[in-house]
Amino acid sequence: MLGSAITAMMQGMKCIICRVECEVADGLPMFNMVGYLSGEVKEARERILSAIRQLGYHLQPMRITMNISPGYFKKSGTGYDLPCALALLQAYAFLKCEHIDKIFFAGELSLKGEVKGINGILPMLIEASKQGYEYFVVPYENRAEAYKLPGIKVLPALSLKEVIDCLASFSPDSQEDDGFFKLNEAKVLHYASDNNNGITDFCNIKGQIMLKRACEVAASGMHNLLMIGPPGTGKSLIANAMSGILPELSEDEVLDVASVYSVAGLLNDEDELANKRPFRAPHHSISTAGLVGGGNPIRPGEISLANHGVLFLDELPEFKRQTIEVLRQPLEEKQIRITRATGTFDFPAHFSLVTAMNPCPCGFYPDLNRCKCTKVQIENYLNKISGPLLNRIDICVEVDEVKFKDMESEEKAESSEEIRERVTKTIERQKKRYVKHNFSYNSELTIEEIKKYCSLTPELKDYMEDIYNNMKLGARAYHRTLKVARTIADMAGRDEIILDDLNEALLYRGIMERYWGEKK
């Protein structure tokens, strides 16, 4: 006899619907599992047999062949246990369910028949839902992920027996709730302004007017930001605060972010990702695989975990050169592509890079009264950051030491909520402008769109030609300057870029010129 069940596999962030088929026939007793499977998938055989025995079923020794298709993708993970067990029970005629192909199954089995949680449930459900599946059986441990997707019917299963009991009475034609599948109600995902879990408010940061302005510009266009200044001036503090001025995630972005965390096995709290954009701050000792993604099995790295949010790299020169150099491609293409013998794995990389560094090893250059570094030491320190990476930085700002009068000032600074309202308004303006494109922010403009949306008057073109030649900007730096100017104009509600917008954008580029000269 034959049995079957529907499940899915993850290849990076790509979900592929799979079918488990099981045949039981006469012959020499054996249990073969085929379909380009990894060792951990083949180990399911022992878990399945033990779980079925615990339910009291006696499986006669026969020739068992189990196939997981399509066979040209290598499959890994333990989420195939549950559908494989159900296909086996059908093949032995212990389970009869005419409509089993209308249900999606995923979950690991313990030896006692308990259904255990797995990674990647949310993107599996999203893809299966797109392909027309309405009923889903998932591990109880993954119920929070499943409940994020409205409009589907979910059974968060605790055991194999519970699933079998459900299938015995399952009928998709029934309009009544049978006590097993629960319909997910549509949810309104909103930004919780009072959920600040360790995020510094801008009103608590004294002084640093120019730095705050640069942060607002960066957040308003999702630009990349580099902060240079002595230790103790608040670079890390304001980077943390920056996550509090980013606008709320749209519903699609919430699912995008949650899907990455699901694949990484980090999605534990039902409301964890609905309230704020990701803010990731890895230590400078991180490996290349930890930053980009990789390992065995392949998992998303910090770049992808910062998707639709901020990736903060503190003490940038302290990172290994080869580690930070891998940022160059994702900053341009907005995705990570990892190629292995078993396939190509794509992960998203729509993030704003925020970095901080000291101007020299001791941290006090250009204050020659305190800086004890030699010229060679300073050059070697700055040269840890390559020109191509600097070229991908949109905004560079110097962070001065806070004056005592600013520290003791009673004047109330703007709060993160006030700044966030302006940032949100600017981003909504961009989304409306780019509604027919596959991007939403000024930082994502291509060369063709720059010509269309960042056009300059003849006088401004002549002005920029002189700047281009004098500063030796280069094509990429020039285009990034125009993108920043476009954001500054949007912040002021202007459709056209004016001279003040260009000068502010050039100011941020000029600070980089002071430190790296022609290298940037």
Q: Which residues pair with 400 in a beta bridge?
A: none
**Confidence at residue 185, expressed as pLDDT on a 0 to 100 scale:** 67
- pLDDT-derived band at 31 (thresholds 50, 70, 90) equals very high
For 343-374, the pLDDT digits (tens) are 889 999 999 999 999 999 998 888 888 888 99
Average pLDDT over residues 46-57: 95
For 290-319, the pLDDT digits (tens) are 999 988 788 999 999 999 999 999 999 999
pLDDT above 80: residue 95: yes
Separation between Cα atoms, residue 159 and residue 283, nearest integer Å = 40
For 152-174, the pLDDT digits (tens) are 999 999 999 999 999 988 877 66
Q: What is the residue-wise DSSP string for 406-441?
A: HHT--PPPPPHHHHHHHHHHHHHHHHHHTTTSS--S
pLDDT above 90: residue 98: no
User: Residues 114, 116, 122, 127: what is their CA dihedral angle, to the nearest 10 degrees?
Assistant: -60
For 233-248, the pLDDT digits (tens) are 889 889 989 888 998 8
pLDDT above 50: residue 193: no
Percentage of the chain beyond pLDDT 70 is: 93
**Confidence at residue 197, expressed as pLDDT on a 0 to 100 scale:** 57
Alpha-helical (H) ranges within 293-372 are 302-305, 321-325, 328-333
Q: Of residues 195 and 350, which shows the higher confidence score?
A: 350
- pLDDT-derived band at 254 (thresholds 50, 70, 90) equals confident
**Checking DSSP bridges between strand 279-280 and strand 310-313, what pairing results, if any?**
parallel
**Confidence at residue 164, expressed as pLDDT on a 0 to 100 scale:** 95
Tell me the C-alpha to C-alpha distance, in Å, between residue 385 and each of 46, 152, 307, 389, 391.
52, 49, 23, 7, 10
Average pLDDT over residues 34-62: 94
Q: What is the largest CA-CA distance in the chain?
A: 89
- pLDDT-derived band at 188 (thresholds 50, 70, 90) equals very low
| CATH number of the 202-519 domain | 3.40.50.300
**Confidence at residue 195, expressed as pLDDT on a 0 to 100 scale:** 45
Average pLDDT over residues 400-411: 75
**Checking DSSP bridges between strand 293-294 and strand 299-300, what pairing results, if any?**
antiparallel
Q: Of residues 432 and 401, which shows the higher confidence score?
A: 432
pLDDT above 80: residue 177: no
pLDDT above 90: residue 478: yes
Q: In whole numbers, what is the pLDDT of the chain averaged over residues?
A: 89
pLDDT above 90: residue 377: yes
Kindly give the interhelix angle for 160-168 and 81-91, rounded to the nearest 10 degrees.
Answer: 50
Q: Of residues 216 and 204, which shows the higher confidence score?
A: 216
* Bond preceding residue 297 cis, omega within 30 of 0: yes
**Confidence at residue 463, expressed as pLDDT on a 0 to 100 scale:** 94
| CATH number of the 2-183 domain | 3.30.230.10
**What is the value of pTM for the model shown?**
0.89
**Confidence at residue 339, expressed as pLDDT on a 0 to 100 scale:** 86
Question: Which residues of the chain does CATH 3.30.230.10 include?
Answer: 2-183
For 106-133, the pLDDT digits (tens) are 999 999 999 999 999 999 999 999 999 9
Tokens matching residue 20: 């488990």
Question: Which residues of the chain does CATH 3.40.50.300 include?
Answer: 202-519
